[in-house]
Each structure stands twice: as C-alpha cells, then as structure tokens.
Chain A
Amino acid sequence: MTSTLGSDADREGSRAAEEGTGHDGAPQPHTIRLELADEPGELLAALEPISENGGNLLSIFHERGNVTPRGRIPVEVDIEATPDRFETIVAALRDAGVNVVQAGAEQYAEELVVVLVGDIVDSDLSDTLQRVEACPSASVADVSVNAPAGRGESASARLRLATRAGGGTEALTTVRELAAEKELHVIEPLAGGGV
C-alpha cells in the first residue's frame, strides 16, 4: 500500500483499507454525516476543516430536499485520512460549529430504548421526537406507537435512540426532562450493566 496521498491512483491503492487490511496510521476512508443550515456558504465552510487537517475528499452527497426534523440539510461526506487525522478533522468540524451527526464508526455506538407512557398523541409526538433529535448525542432510529384507546387516553411509544458512545446518559436526561414537561412517564432501560 502506498502512503502517498492526493492522486486518484494512490487513492485506489489505499482502498485496501476498506477490505480490512488497514493498519494503524494508514489512510482509510471514512464517512461523515453533517447537518447544515440551508444557507449559502455553509457547505464550503464545513469542508474547510477537512482539507485544512489533511483529509482527502472522496465524495460529497448533498441531500437537498431531504430536510431533517430540525429543518437542516443532511450532507454525507466521504473522506480519506489516517485515524489520527480523522479524529482531528472531526474535532475541528465540531470546533467550527458544524453539526456532526455521524463520524465513522463512532456514531450509533450505543442503542437506547425507552418507552414513553401517557397521552402520547395530544402531547405532540412529533415535537417530542424533534426535541430528542435536537439532543446532540442522540438520534431517533425508530419509533413505534401503541394507542389502543385513541386520542386523550393512555398510550405508549417506544423510541429506539442511537447514541454516541457515552452519550446515553445525556440522551436519557433529555427524555426525562421532556417527559416531565409533557406529563408522560418514562420506562427506562436498566442502568449500569444489569441484565
């Protein structure tokens, strides 16, 4: 494998990393998911910390028209960088105020399932979900609602949250606060490794 960065040919060579042969220190492809405000210059500003820190841009997928619950534009960026540089790039993106939703394998490291109980429908479920999404350490991966008696009656919603490594506590705190405000009950998962 070549360690030279830059040319398309070299890039193909280092793709060996994708096949599981990557070593520490060798450049590897990474996918970063960002959420950007729909304003001119946002994308360019987000790409600068990548190039400034030695990342090699492979592709940019700008999902215009696919707006997140927060009203932002999801952008998927494939880059190539050594593991060290990749960490520096992600840190630089966050320092620059860019909302990094997913960075390599780090995101979705943990899963958190909670069940909310109460008047799920009239307490505005979509607002609940949007506000969980707004928590920087969690993303709503799946929602299932069971409302046998309809509006105004007790119902349940199961939320599967993808959380950043170590972000479970923050996500749970957000859910608890929301539930308290909306007079919902939270059935939490066990804490502390109980099974």
Chain B
Amino acid sequence: MTAGKRLAVLGAGAVGGAVVDLAAAYGHTVVAFADSASAVVDAGGIDADAAVDRKAAEGHVGDDDPEDVLHADYDVLVEATPTTLGDAEPGFSHLRTALERDRHVVLANKGPVAERYADVRELEHDSEGEVRFEAAVGGAIPIVSTVEDLGPSRVTAARGVLNGTANFILSRMAAEGIDYEHVLAEAQDLGVAEADPTFDVEGTDAALKCVILANVLAAGDREFTLSDADVEGITNVPGSALELAAEDGRTVRLVGEATREGIRVGPRLVPGNAALAVTGTRNIVQLETDYAGQLNLSGRGAGGEPTASAVLGDVGRLG
C-alpha cells in the first residue's frame, strides 16, 4: 500500500481539475493547485471542490501566486498545462524546478517528453525525483507502463490510433457519407474538436505521442523529436476515399507508427473489422513484442477523468 502523497497540480483544465477532484479517492492530498494566472496553496490540503468551483465560476482557482505552487511543500508535481510546440515551455521549466528540488514529476503535458526527452532524462538523472508520463500518450490506456513491464528492447513497434478528434471525424465521415468540413463543424459543436483543430487534424498531436513512444522504445539510444516524424493529417481525405475503402471492406484511420528507427503518421487503410478500426474518440495502441506477440490496448484516450486516472496511476507507481 503506497502512502498518500502531497500533490502540486499545475494546470486547471479538464485534466488538472479532474486530478484535484479524484486525488482524495486515491488517498492523496492536493497541497497546491494553479492555473496560468492564479493559485491556491494550503499545506494541510486545499478544498478541492471550492477550487474547482471557483475556477468554473470566476475563471481562477484562488488568490495565491502561481509561482508559489512550484515552491510549495509537495512530493509530486503534476504538470497538466497545455502542450506547446518548440521549447515545451512553461512545462519544461516547471519540471526542472521540481527535479532540482528532488521532487517527482508526473506529466500529462506531452511537450517535455516529446520535444526535450534527453534534457528531461538528464535532469531526472541528477535528481532524487522521478519523471513519469503515462497520461501523455493515449489518456487512460496504460501504454508506457506496459512497454516498461515488457522491456523496451522486447517491443519492436508501437502503432495506433491516438487522436480522438481525427478518429471521430473519419468515423463519422465513413458512417454518414458526409464531408470533412461538415463533420468538423459537428465535432466542434459537440466539443470533440477544438475551435482551432489544426493540432489534431494535421496529425501533430498523434505525432507527438508517437515521438514519446519512440523515445521510450529507444531507451536513450537515440532521441526523437517532432522533426524526426513523417506526418500527414486527415484534411486531404475526401468522402470519396472513404467510400472506396468501404466498398472493399476497409476504412481509413489516422495511424501513428513508432519504432526505434522512426515515426510515421498518416491516414492508412485498415480492414473494417480490424482492431485498429476503433470508432469515435476511442484510442488503441498495438505493441509488437518479441515473446508476447501482438498486444492491443484500447480505451479512452482523452477526457478529464480518464486522463487523470493515468496521472494518479503514475503517482501510485512512484517510490
């Protein structure tokens, strides 16, 4: 039984909010919580409901300075700020501050491990703290820990459907015979797609997840970043292509493939009854292993509570 840990949560979006909400159910205490402009810090444990309600009602979580969170007395920093492209800031600096204080870091933010993997590992090496990032790839699905259990060298490839928005759009296009623009508008109305869906539909999000997987598979022998990925999105997939695929018992999915050699993301033809032909916002990852054959891990790849469950699972794995 792991003793309850004191958590500092950075980021008050769906994931950060759900971590704060669910922490007590996992036996942990949230001692600090911040969005980009405000914070609440209480060494005895913050009032989670009050902070989440206040965020919803007033747009900020409390009256403290976000900087105070980084210096609060916590065991684990949960980094759930938005993923940014380029230098992975401010997530990377948050991680560095925590590791330099010999604290653990659990990332929901993909940036640091997708864009500065070697830097992260170096900081971790020099710290008493550990870095975990299960939630950064495939939300609730235990992909990273499964690869760790198998041993990265015994996993030859990981491929999967890792972006719910793109998958929702493709599966709706195929099922309803409607065009991309129409489905995108519907997805935005439903809250499945962002107002600016570029990150999802151009394949960038799926590619970042594959970059992380490739880094895990390579186990430090080589560092991958987004520039190593060959990426094509779904914006060029017309309804006519889905119809032709369907006539042949196939469908089209945005599939990411990661190996120790490289990363490819693009629309691929898959048999309609294949494991990879998940529908809607479901994600799936297939691992090709040396001794265990093919493993399929499927589940909810996004959303506040599912992703928070992966974050809290990581917290539980920490020593």
> Do the beta carbons of B232 and A185 come within 8 Å of each other?
yes
Given contacts A115-B244, A115-B245, A185-B232, contact A190 B270 (CB under 8 A): yes
Interface string of A173-195 (1 = CB under 8 A from B): 00000000000010111111111
| B221 interfacial by beta-carbon distance below 8 Å | no
| B243 interfacial by beta-carbon distance below 8 Å | yes
| A14 interfacial by beta-carbon distance below 8 Å | no
> Do the beta carbons of A188 and B244 come within 8 Å of each other?
no
> Do the beta carbons of B274 and A192 come within 8 Å of each other?
no
User: Total interface residues on A, using CB and 8 Å?
Assistant: 25
Q: Which of A114, A147, A160 contacts B240 (CB 8 A)?
A: A147
Interface string of B244-278 (1 = CB under 8 A from A): 11011010100101000000001111110011100
| A148 interfacial by beta-carbon distance below 8 Å | yes
| A156 interfacial by beta-carbon distance below 8 Å | yes
A67 CA to B180 CA in the complex, in Å?
Answer: 41
Q: Which of B247, B250, B271, B288 contacts A192 (CB 8 A)?
A: B288
> Do the beta carbons of B248 and A158 come within 8 Å of each other?
yes
| A157 interfacial by beta-carbon distance below 8 Å | yes
A113 CA to B247 CA in the complex, in Å?
Answer: 12
> Do the beta carbons of A189 and B288 come within 8 Å of each other?
no
| B241 interfacial by beta-carbon distance below 8 Å | yes
B-contacting residues, A133-182, CB 8 Å: 144, 146-148, 154-158, 160
> Do the beta carbons of B241 and A189 come within 8 Å of each other?
no
Q: Which residue of B lies closest to A187 (CB)?
A: B267
Chain B residues near A160 (CB, 8 Å)?
248
A189 CA to B248 CA in the complex, in Å?
Answer: 13
Interface string of B139-158 (1 = CB under 8 A from A): 00000000000000000010
Chain B residues near A187 (CB, 8 Å)?
237, 241, 245, 252, 266-269
Given contacts A190-B159, A194-B276, contact A155 B269 (CB under 8 A): no
> Do the beta carbons of B157 and A158 come within 8 Å of each other?
no
Chain A residues near B257 (CB, 8 Å)?
191-192, 194
Chain A residues near B313 (CB, 8 Å)?
none
A115 CA to B239 CA in the complex, in Å?
Answer: 12
Number of residue pairs spanning A and B whose beta carbons lie under 8 angstroms apart: 84
Chain A residues near B270 (CB, 8 Å)?
189-190, 194-195
> Do the beta carbons of B271 and A195 come within 8 Å of each other?
yes
A-contacting residues, B209-261, CB 8 Å: 232, 236-241, 243-245, 247-248, 250, 252, 255, 257
Chain A residues near B269 (CB, 8 Å)?
113-115, 187-190
A193 CA to B255 CA in the complex, in Å?
Answer: 13
A116 CA to B270 CA in the complex, in Å?
Answer: 15
A-contacting residues, B151-206, CB 8 Å: 157, 159
| B294 interfacial by beta-carbon distance below 8 Å | yes
| A117 interfacial by beta-carbon distance below 8 Å | yes
A158 CA to B286 CA in the complex, in Å?
Answer: 26
Given contacts A114-B269, A117-B237, A117-B238, contact A194 B243 (CB under 8 A): no
> Do the beta carbons of A155 and B238 come within 8 Å of each other?
yes
- CB of A166 to closest CB in B, whole Å: 19
Could you pull out 30 A-B pairs where Cβ atoms are within 8 angstroms? A113-B250, A114-B269, A117-B236, A117-B238, A118-B236, A144-B244, A146-B240, A146-B243, A154-B240, A155-B238, A155-B240, A156-B241, A156-B243, A158-B248, A187-B267, A187-B268, A188-B266, A188-B269, A189-B268, A190-B159, A190-B268, A190-B270, A190-B276, A191-B257, A192-B288, A194-B270, A194-B276, A195-B270, A195-B271, A195-B276
* A189-B268, A191-B257 given; 20 more Cβ-contact pairs under 8 Å: A113-B250, A115-B245, A115-B269, A117-B238, A117-B240, A117-B241, A146-B241, A154-B240, A155-B238, A156-B238, A156-B243, A157-B244, A158-B247, A158-B248, A187-B267, A187-B268, A190-B159, A190-B270, A193-B288, A194-B286
Contact surface of B with A, Cβ cutoff 8 Å? 157, 159, 232, 236-241, 243-245, 247-248, 250, 252, 255, 257, 266-271, 274-276, 286, 288, 294
Query: Top 4 A-B pairs ranked by shortest CB distance?
Result: A146-B240, A156-B241, A156-B240, A158-B244
